[in-house]
Each structure stands twice: as C-alpha cells, then as structure tokens.
Structure 1
Amino acid sequence: MDHHSWQTSSQWIMVGLLLLFAIAHSGLASLRPWAEKRVGARLYRIFFALVSLPLATILILYFLAHRYDGVQLWQLQGAPGMGALVWGLSAISFLFLYPATFNLLEIAAVQKPEVHLYETGIIRITRHPQLWGQVIWCVAHTLWLGTSFTLLTSLGLIAHHCFGVWHGDRRWYARHGEAFTALKARTSIIPFKAIWEGKQQLVWQEFLRPAYGGVAIFVALLWWLHPYFYRVTPEILPF
C-alpha cells in the first residue's frame, strides 16, 4: 500500500496502538485502589510500569518510523525560525509533561507510591500539566512534520489526555474527597486561569528544583540523539 495516501495502513495501526495504550494505562490506573489492597502499592506500581512502558516505547518507535506516512498537508520545515520554534515548544512541553511535583522515588517504587494532592509549582498554573504538555508537543511536531499520520497521532494523544483530566479528577476525589473539592476550587485546568482570577499566585522559588534541571538535560540529550533515533528505528520495528 502507498505510504503517502489517505489509505495508508500505518495510520490505522497507530490508532490501534493508541487505543491499546489508553485502555491499558487508564484501565490500570482505575484499578489501582482495588489492586493495591491485594498486592501492595509497590508491587502494583512495578506491574503498571511493566505494562505501560513497553506500550509507550512501541508507540514512540512506531511514530518515529512512520511520521512521514500519509498525505503531506503542509510543508513548513524551510520557514525561517521554524526549527527554533519547534525545539522551543518541545522544551516547554517537557516542563509540563514531567513537572517537578512528581516524586521519582515513588515512580520507581523505591518509596511507597501515594496519590498526592499538590498545589505548588506548575500546579498553580494548571491542575493538569500533562495535558498541556502533550498539547504543546503535538502542536510543535504536527507543525514541523505536516503529515496526516502525525495529525492523526496528535489528535489521538490529546484525546487520551483529555480523558485523563476527567479520570484523574475522579480518582483524586475518590481518594481525598472534600480536600480535593477545595483544591479543585483553587486551581484550574486552563493554564493561568486560577492566577488570573486571583486564586493562585506564582512563586518562582518553587521552580528552582533539581527535577527541572533534569528535564533540561533530558531535552538536550533528545536534541543530540534525534538523528540516531531516526536512523535505528526502522531497524528495530518489525512493522
């Protein structure tokens, strides 16, 4: 099948991979309270990671291998400043996708994983930074690549994160009850809305944390390794 048409099979394979990841990731998150009572928080976090991380890796590799599939909707790669814009937006997206409020020791199950209510740092800007990090990342890469495959992938990722907003608020309320209701009233989903309304104010010192330095190093490594990823991805994937 032609890889540069509306009917390319890779686009529908990506839709299937996105659905599989969304069902596994959100489904396992929903089962967390029930499962932790039976196997413990650490063991369940390890199981969650063993399911989610391979699926996420396959998604990333498949996207890299097929990013130019489908119809070329626009071509902006030669536009002045476009490269700098895309890299700038990508760097900002990772600051939202991986905010310093995450406890890395809990993610790795070194400490007992908990469901926390945060109201500092980037949460003052938006209660759901991962949603907006994904939106910014998708906008940047869709602008740069301009293919129907990339557009379809971006819409799928954003749809999953929009569902995650509802799902996350629901799980926070189930765990924390009125404490979450109060936090919800003081924060916002839309970036800077709570600040604009006077419910929050930025405290810049809260952003001076080692985790943000780690994000900056991660972005620099991605920039350096991008050509390598593009070269080896077709050799790794069997489809």
Structure 2
Amino acid sequence: MTGSLDALFAAVVAFVGGHFLLGWPSIRAALIEQIGANRFRAVFSLAAGVAMVWMVLAYGDAPYVTIWEPPLWTRWIPNVVMPFAAILLVCGYNPFSPTAMMADEDFDDPHLVRGILTVTRHPVMMSIGLWALAHLTVRGDAASMLLFGGMAALAFGGMVKIDFKKRAEFGAKWAPFELTTSVLPFRAILEGRTRLDWKGIGWLRLGGGLALWAALYSAHPYIAGVSAVPM
C-alpha cells in the first residue's frame, strides 16, 4: 500500500478521483436517494479521510526520484504565497459562503458578497491550490509532483465543478453571486464588480491566518523534514 511511486499514484487517484466521482451530480443524487443525505456525508467524509491518510503515508514512504532541480531562488515562492494562502484558508471557513454551505436561502441575502468572498468566491479551494502550486516550484522529485500536482488538480478542478454545479442547480439565483465575485483573487475588485470588504474580513481572521502561517512555518522542519527558511 506504500513504499513505491505506484502506491502513491494510486493513493492520489483515490483521494482526488474520489472527490470528483462522489461529488458528480448524478452519482451524488443517486447515493443520497439510496442512503440519505446524512449517511452520504458520513460515507464521503470517511472515504476521503481514509484516502488522505493513505496518500500522506504513501508520500512519506515513496522513493526520492529527481525529475528536475529547482533553482535556489524558487524557495522564496512558498514564503511569499503561503501567508496569503493561510489567510484565505482561515477566512474561508464562514457560515455565510454559498460555495461552502450550498444553501438555497443564502441567495436571498442582499449582503451575501462580503468578507473574503469579495476577494475570491472559493477561498478554501484557492488556498489549497496556491499551497500546491507554490510547493511544486520547490520540489522537483516525482513523489512531490504526484502529491502537489494532484492537490492542485483537485483544488482548481473543484472550483470549476462547483461553479458548474451551482449554475445548473440554482440558475438565476446563482447568477448575481457569480457576476459580483471571481475565482481569481481580486479580479472582481479590479474589474469594478465588487469592493474589497475589509470590515467583513476582520482583523481577527486576518491575524488568525497569519498565526496559522507562522505556526506552519515554524513547524515545517518537523512536518516536512526541511526548513522553510530560504537559503
């Protein structure tokens, strides 16, 4: 189950592919009809959790096979990107986000587009995607390319899937939210479709994101086995 690149590849496919397979509208609807929404969520969470543990263990046990040697200057990229990614992650866990809760009544809120949603309508997925891309720039081995490449595919593909699903499910109710937000951070602000909501983001969430980044930065040698400090 671990100890080879093949095992890691299988684990990444199970984790990433499982999200897309179980989240596919027709499959999801059929399973919910058969076992109910609560049991579906439980099964989905269990399957994702098992696959994630397998993927992490397989990555840790995978052999180091060099594909390319990243230049030393690329080590600055994660250090620039990760504070922003951590802020997106912390700010993204809000109960009013329709991309997180997918509740129909959310679209009746005239102040729906607020907080971090003025930056991107997929803050958590964007955080994961930026984390994956940033680490792809500094890890040139096959195992890292499989892991971070798979996570990038999950994050960016997931954003496309969510938009497609919500557009089909909610139609006209979803359109105003989509038109006043953007996937790419700050795009809707730069295009004048919304305003940055500093007050909605709040200093507490901003500080929480930076605290998370600082904790991960300090713990990086113990988590990943290498220092995050650029040389």
What TM-score, normalized by structure 1, do the two folds share?
0.70
The 8 Å contact of residues 64 and 230 in structure 1, kept in 2 or not, is answered as: no
For 2:113 and 2:45, the matched residues in 1 are separated by: 26
Q: Aligned partners of 1:38, 1:199: CA distance in 2, in Å?
A: 42
Q: Is the alpha carbon distance of 1:184 and 1:59 closer, same or farther for their aligned partners in structure 2, counting shifts above 3 Å? A: same
Counterpart position of 1:154? 148
* 1:115 aligns to 2:102 (yes or no): yes
Shift of 1:164: 1.4
Residues 113-152 of structure 1 correspond to what in structure 2 (within 5 A)? Answer: 114-116=101-103, 119-152=113-146
Local SS of the residue matching 2:174: helix
Tell me which of 75, 81, 85 is aligned to 1:89. Answer: 81
Q: Distance in 2 between matches of 1:100 and 1:164?
A: 15
Which string of whole-angstrom CA distances, capped at 9 and with x for unpartnered residues, describes residues 145-185 of structure 1? 33243234333322233321232112213432211122222
Higher alpha-carbon deviation: 183-192 or 139-148: 139-148
Question: Which residue in the other structure is 2:64 paired with?
Answer: 69
Structure 1 gaps, min length 5:
1-7, 105-112, 232-239
1:224/1:62 CA distance change after superposition, 3 Å? farther
Establish whether residue 60 from structure 1 lines up as the match of residue 48 from structure 2. no
Give the C-alpha shift of residue 204 in structure 1: 0.3
Is 1:76–1:146's contact at 8 Å kept on the other side of the alignment? no
CA offsets, 1:42-69, max 9 Å, x none?
A: 4432222111122123323433444x72
Change (3 A) 1:215 1:43: farther
Taking a change above 3 Å as real, the CA distance of residues 185 and 150 of structure 1, as seen in their structure-2 partners, is same
How many percent identity over aligned positions? 22
* TM-score of the aligned structures, taking structure 2 as reference length: 0.72
C-alpha change, 1:221 and 1:193, in structure 2 (3 Å) is closer
The alpha carbon displacement at 1:32 in A equals 4.1
Aligned-partner residue type, residue 88 of structure 2: F
Answer yes or no: is 1:22 the counterpart of 2:22. no
Q: Residue 133 of structure 2 contacts residue 149 of structure 2 at CA under 8 Å; is this kept in 1? A: no
Give the Cα–Cα distance (whole angstroms) in 1 for the partners of residues 188 and 30 of structure 2. Answer: 33
Pairwise CA RMSD of aligned residues?
Answer: 3.3
Compared CA separation, residues 125 and 22, structure 1 to 2 (3 A): same
1:237 match: none
